[in-house]
Amino acid sequence: MVVIKAFGQVKEQVGMGEFRIEEEMQNVKSLRTYLSDKYPAISWSSVAIAVNKQYAQDQDPLHQGDEIALIPPVSGG
């Protein structure tokens, strides 16, 4: 289980700011794949992912209870 916090436009696209994923995820890449299957309209390759407040790369492992942040690019000024 991991806890997800969504920011920017992703928050609206997934329809909630915070949710849990019960499935086991090996690493950030498997999370991206899971999210791409569930929310195919979102361009997941452009969304930055942080694990426990730390910017993460695809190969970084995920652990039970990790807090994930999904931070898409935002552009308003």
Partner 1 sequence: MNTERYQRQIVLPDFGAEGQRKLDTSKVLIVGSGGLGVPVMQYLVGMGVGTITVMDADEVSLSNLHRQVVYTTNDIGRKKVEVAKERLGLLNPEISIIAISEMLTSENAESTIGECNIVVDCTDNIESRYILNDTCVMLDKPFVYGALYRHEGHVSVFNHQGSVSYRDVYPDDSVNVQNCNEVGVLGVLPGIIGCYQAMEVVKILTDFGDPLVGKLMVVNAMTSEHHTFFLGSKKEKVEPTNHVENKKFQTMSWEKLENTDLTKSHLIDVRSAQVFDESHDSRFENIPLQMIAGFEPNPNYEVVLVCDRGIATKQAAAILSSSFPDIQVYQIEGGYQVLAQ
Q: What CA–CA distance (Å, rounded) separates 77 from 66?
A: 32
Amino acid at 3: V
Among residues 4, 31, 68, 69, the one that binds partner 1 under rule CB under 8 A: 69
How many residues at the interface with partner 1, by CB under 8 A?
A: 20
Among residues 7, 14, 21, 36, the one that binds partner 1 under rule CB under 8 A: 7
Residues lying near partner 1 in the complex (CB under 8 A): 5, 7-9, 43, 45-46, 48, 50, 53-55, 69, 71-77
